[in-house]
Structure 1
Amino acid sequence: MDSVEAVAEKKDVQDVEEELDETGYFKDELSIFSSLNRFEHYLDQKIGLEAEAVERKLPEHRQTASWSEQLNIIFLWMSSNITLSPFTTGFLGWEFGLSLKESLLCCIFGTLIGSCATAYCTTFGAAMGLRQMSVSRYSFGWYPNKLIALVNVVQQVGWSAVGVITGGLALEAVADGHLSVAVGIIIISAVVLVIGMLGLRVIFLYERYAWIVLFVVFMIIFGETAQYVDNKTPTKLEGTVFSGAILSFLSVTYGYSASWSPVASDYYVRFPANISRVKVFFLSLVGLTVPTCIAMCAGAVTASALNANPHWKETYENAGVGMYLRDILYPLGFAKFLLVLLVLSSIGLNLMNTYSGTLSVQQISPILGKIPRFIWSLIFFGVVIALGLAGRKRLSAYLQNFLDVIGYWCTSYMVIILMEHVFVRKANFANYDLSQWNNPKGLPHGIAAIVTFLVGVVCWVMGMSETWYVGPLAALFGGKGGDVANEFTFVFTCVAYLPLRLLELKIFGK
């Protein structure tokens, strides 16, 4: 139940007491919303459903974090990233025609760069007590930020679809094809729904231990596939076509890690406000980079074995990565056991996607914000299943196109947040009026941010290289093109945002 002090951050202070009824809920709420919120608060009291997830967490309501609790930062990202999704992403280097060495280098450096972007965004959570979509209101303003929240919802739904597809493929392989991918998708989605509705406390508990099992599984994959690794076959690509393939795969690997940046601070709001930002950055960087590199490099290594066995190649192309793993690992019973464990990785990934996605929906509009998060979890459940069923037969193309596009917008988003904080707010959180986080009048208009973001879309279009479209800059590399959209977007955003923001400050004073 909202206290007068908490509500004062959202509404004018003088009106707060008049707008609350005797139970503490707003008098003007529609009865259906009021009933749903009361039910959500009841569930929160009984099972910790986290009814007020979107609200700012005030410093006095947070507890000191012990070293073991701070290590949860690493474990959270470990369990969410040592999964089948980056493993499958690692196969794309082989599909681009790169050698194993080139694929591994792209996996490592692309992941590191993308992880730096996400790790930077994590530092805002504890300092401000706000979820990532609320943090960006101080750059994008009240109304433009609604578009950003909507885009983020699409991203989280898309990532969830990737997670259930890869998990469904693993379950299909365990059942020797007798259990369809579609059924696997529904099973995984249902498990995520149940766990995810319980909120951050349960998510942290799951992610704290899941990575241990998954780390062992991926070490076994490395060990069993080592004898089949092809590290001698060079790429057949040359000149600008080769450069284009490198750039395109780098864009994909960067996009995977950078895609966490629009949700990064969601998981830090309960940490004390005075926790070291440097510590948070490096703990997050380790938690993001190490597991992603392990899983993605395992995918690249396993993909290289396709060069040596035509039967495996046929299995991968016709039946997917799950069946291929079942064939290459041994003995068969043990391979199936490992695949069952890998399904857990899809659950860990989708827990975070669903949690952050529902938070973003609630910040698109006040009406949507009044609908409890558990209702949005149910809606996510249905949408993810629909997308998973639609994309289950073209996972590699889905991954390449999806990861590229989300990488583009995450680059724009992250650079705008960085420029605002460093150059406008002077890298000082005292320059943010945090009491106005939910008040349109107290936030910037966001004109500079949204103009920079929308014009940045032109940069994406010019530099992207997708299966369905190759931009004019990407086409200069020949062949399938070379994806330079992220680089072009980064440079444009750095150059354009600051002068536009300073002009906005001069005209409007905020």
Structure 2
Amino acid sequence: MSYDEEKQYSGHSLTPPLDMEQKHAAATVDIDSRGASGEQEYQGTLVKQDNGFLSKLRNIEAVMDRRLGVESEAITRKRPDEREPLTWRSQFTMCLLWASGTMNLSCFATGFLGYEFGLDLKQSILICLFASILGGAVSGFCATLGAATGLRQISCSRFSFGWYPNKIIAALNTIQQIGWSAVGCITGGIALQAVSNGTIPIAVGIIIIAVISLVVSLVGLKVILVYERYAWLAYLCIFIIIFSMTGRYADNTTPTALTGADLSGNVLTLIAIVYGSSASWATVASDYYVLYPATLNRSKVFILTTLGIGLPTATGMMAGCVVSSALNNRPDWLAVYTAPPGNQIGYLIQTMLYPRGFADFILVLLVLSGVNCNILNTYSAAISCQQFARPFARVPRFIWTFLCFGVIIALALAGRNQLLAYLQNFLSLLGYWCTSYFTIVASEHFIFRKGDFRNYDLEVGLPVEILRSSTRSLTDS
């Protein structure tokens, strides 16, 4: 719920916020009228509805929401009476949602970093397993805030960082989600190039992946949850196939040649990268729980989210560890992988799986795995854009989705030939800032709020909390 909405509700009006149908009606204006104007509530902010460009866009978004459910007010707090009843299917979604988004070609490529750093197979696998679960636990805690408050993740962190510092968090989160989407586009483009035997350039593949992700992320949370609930199964089967067909060639005997500070440095670097991959979901985790009942068991949310992020991420990365170690025993695979411009993961998959037609089919499915991840990233990036400032909230979410789409393509095209360097630098950075974010949010919850959501003044106290939390966050940093 925005600052203006809280302020209006707390002191200037006893009228409760409009329900969703009333909001849709309020957001709809006659675009053919001339001279008509008036103020209506949109995203918790009073905006002037006239014949202007933004008013027409909001009207279009309201119509799309009624017909397609595209969420015309995505950042507005979901009140308890707007939630959906808890079912066994929705409980499984808490885990399967993340499995679909993390078990992808990007995680598989990250598994090659242990080989690139000179670590042996055992070291790489242990790091991928435990660092993924640790990062998943960070995201799992943040996920518990969604159902309890009805707020998206960046909206929740207003209580921890304060009103104005939180705008910086929104900007950082947007950069993070766009960067992850760019990684997904690059890996998908690499796979498409291999499937087409080089007739489809990586650049074209990047655009194709980005467009597919754009279409799905536009439709809103409900459709995303349904899609991600089932998509994971195909990718679990794919990685089982990869393990079974390449495991016999894995090099589990050659020890690492690194010693001393070099070994410690590379181990810590890989831990930071793998941990950052799982922990990076912390800044969006609660976005996908706002439709759950406020009484949802938070321990269940934490456990299912932690396992849903940590184990699938580790599965994809460990598959990469196994395949990369096999390069020591298969010179023909190594020649394919190191062919210019290097890191030819798509062609490597095509070579190591057989028959050839089956390998191409697996690659096509792995292309779609990038779409699974990008859907979540693009959706959350657009929501964060709306929280930069109140004027930004007046711009419909689908417009921000298109703008993020353009930036994603630009970044992916720029880094398409340096995938592993991109992953190493980007994921290391994510681990640092997501840990800082988690520490501040957790400290606010357990120290200052005593671990009790009743101490969050969701209905009447946000203006006071803005001043209190902003001062605390700045003085304690």
TM over 0.5: yes
Equivalent residues of 1:255, 1:403 under 8 A apart: yes
**Secondary structure, counterpart of 1:45 in structure 2:** helix
The alignment status of 1:28 with 2:43, answered yes or no, reads: no
Contact 2:3 2:462 in 1 (8 A): no
Partner of 1:406: 430
- Equivalent residue, structure 2, for 1:449: 473
Structure 1 residues 308, 371: CA separation in 2 closer, same or farther (over 3 Å shift)? same
Q: 2:292: which partner in 1?
A: 271
CA distance in 1, matches of 2:258, 2:53: 61
**2:219 corresponds to:** 198
Residue by residue over 1:113-167, the C-alpha shift from the partner in whole angstroms, topping out at 9 and shown as x without a partner, is: 1011000100000000000001100010010000011000000000000000001
Match of 1:297 among 314, 318, 329: 318
Q: Which residue of 1 aligns with 2:236?
A: 215
- The answer on whether the counterparts of 1:49 and 1:198 sit within 8 Å (CA) in structure 2 is yes
**C-alpha distance in 2 between matches for 1:109 and 1:446:** 35
Which amino acid is 1:382 matched to?
G
Q: Secondary structure at the match of 2:291?
A: coil
Mapped to 2, the partners of 1:94 and 1:127 lie a distance apart of: 42
Alpha-carbon distance, 1:360 to partner: 0.5
Q: 1:449 to 1:22 in 2, by over 3 A?
A: closer
TM-fit CA distance, 1:34: 2.0
Paired position in structure 2 for 1:92: 113
Contact 2:279 2:434 in 1 (8 A): yes
Match of 2:124 among 96, 103, 106: 103
- Residue 260 of structure 1, aligned match among 270, 277, 281: 281
1:325 shift after superposition: 1.0
1:361 matched to which residue of 2? 385
CA contact (8 A) 1:126 1:269 kept: yes
Please give the secondary structure, in 2, of the residue aligned with 1:434. Answer: coil
Equivalent residue, structure 2, for 1:389: 413
Gapped regions of structure 1 (runs ≥ 5):
454-510
> Which deviations, in whole Å up to 9, do the C-alpha atoms of 1:102-123 show, x marking residues without a partner?
0000001110110110001000
**Structure 2 residue 448 is matched with structure 1 residue 424:** yes
Deviation at residue 184 of structure 1 after TM alignment = 0.5
Residue 395 (structure 1) shift:
0.4
Q: Alignment partner for residue 102 of structure 2, among 50, 67, 81? A: 81
Letter in 2 for 1:28: K
- The CA deviation at 1:438 is 6.7
Instruction: Give the letter for the 1:84 counterpart.
Output: L
Q: Does 1:53 align with 2:74?
A: yes
- TM-score norm. by structure 2 comes to 0.90
Contact 1:128-1:434 within 8 A present in 2 as well = yes
Query: Is the contact made by 1:139 and 1:444 (CA closer than 8 Å) also made in structure 2?
Result: no
In the aligned structure 1, how far is the partner of 2:463 from the partner of 2:56?
25
1:351 CA displacement: 0.3
Structure 2 CA distance, aligned partners of 1:421 and 1:188?
Answer: 38
The equivalent residue for 1:456 is none
Question: Amino acid of the residue matched to residue 376 of structure 1?
Answer: W
Secondary structure of 1:409's counterpart equals helix
Distance 1:379 1:451 in 2: 35
Residue 199 of structure 2 corresponds to 178
Q: In 1, Cα distance between the equivalents of 2:467 and 2:456?
A: 10
Residues 325 and 335 in structure 1, CA contact (< 8 A), matched pair in contact too = yes
Structure-1-length-normalised TM-score: 0.84
Aligned equivalent of 1:11: 8
Percent identity reads 48
CA contact (8 A) 1:436 1:442 kept: no
Question: How far apart are the structure 1 equivalents of 2:67 and 2:89?
Answer: 27
Q: What is the letter of the counterpart of residue 149 of structure 2?
A: M
